[in-house]
Structure 1
Amino acid sequence: MGGEIIFMVPAVIGFAAMATIGGTLLLWLVWIAARRWGPPSSRAAPPRFPVGGTTAVLLAISLPVGCVRACPPVPQPESAKIVAAFEVPLTTAVERANFLTILKAEAAIGGLDVNIETAEEMDRWNEMGLELSKSIEATVYRSGDIRQSEARASDQHHLGHAWISFERGEDPSLARRFRERLMSRIVERWPGTLSVPVAQTGSLPHKKDLRRSDHGYEIDPSRLAGYICGTAPGNAPKSACD
């Protein structure tokens, strides 16, 4: 990152300098033209062009724009990419408690920790609006120097139907074993569990954009364009798939 900053600083300064000098020159030419050929009201302007004020304003605008241009988007690490997702019907408090018990037990076997949102924390979301309401929210992560998330379960945006998504993880083989063990128990306990597709963009689709298939959900063809990276109308930008 330090090496990237060394190259980014000159790029930002160079962009800001060119934008400021070019913008000041352009405004000066417009000011001269207005005084010579403009209406009488424009000729009553101050006798000297406000170079200092113009430069300060343009510099204040061009510096943040230069930062945006010079800073490339940070690609999502491979370990954080979602590789599988499922919908589990959890319509009662008892079912949610049973689900969390299984989740914590399998996480412990895999050397993982679980963070579960409290009822008070979820109530804050519920107060913001019905569409943000949720009755379960849990994150499974592997502790270490950097906390690595490996799974997330939530029924936000689809209350009563928890979506559990699994990430690739720093150690894909460990993450896969955890996923297979956990889903084996979940499907046994909730046979109505359905698979949820992972879009090409790496995100999970909105439930309204899905339709039932033989093995779970699939993205409705009429909604598919927004989940594909490309240049066709409605496609997500290619950067979304990097």
Structure 2
Amino acid sequence: MTKLSVNINKIATLRNARGGNVPDLLKVAADIQRFGGQGITIHPRPDERHIRYQDARDLKAVVTTEYNIEGNPQHNFIDLVLECKPDQVTLVPDAIGAITSSAGWDTIKNQEYLTEVIQEFQRNGIRTSIFVDPILEMIEGAKKTGTDRIELYTESFAHQYSLGNEKGIDPYAKAAVLANELGLGINAGHDLSLDNIKFFKENIQGLLEVSIGHALISEALYLGLDNTVNMYLNKLK
């Protein structure tokens, strides 16, 4: 079964809108795990507009499943990850001020930099994953960095699928075949939803984990958080 890691950034956004502690981020993380979620993902950004750096520290005591911290490996982020020592760190090439992730790494151009950062995390017992587009050259470049896994950036698939174009899965399926041949673990995330997750999972060989936040939290407004988490789990079996 593909594991479901729930990104709770949107819970932090809602909390921060009023300046208090409602909803309680730590309680939501604990509840998601109690409902069956197999991991918690956060993506702190430098402006702390949703997840705060202190949240990352506080969640360490709450996450009993898999703790995944995403972000651009700048100095403050690296220091935070080394302090929190999550199970996994996912490296994402976000520009400062970006609304959301919009592209994967150029693993060829950034090979030396990524290799250095990855080695530092691995020396501290943290599994590494690199956010990449479904481009075979980028998959090969990821392998050369020494990363444990890749996370396929799925925005293009989700968009094509919403238009009725199931062929949008093809680059991802080919990328997965290559990643498996190279011995890279495969994660995926971005715009995956209850509408498209089953089709994606069925066509991606060796999919280990998906990280889903915006869609899952939005769907939970209508369906309830417990119910929505379990609907995803059923589709990922």
Structures share fold, TM-score greater than 0.5: no
Larger RCO, structures 1/2 (Cα 8 Å, 6+ apart): 2
TM-score using structure 2 length = 0.25
Q: Which has the larger radius of gyration?
A: 1
TM-score using structure 1 length = 0.25
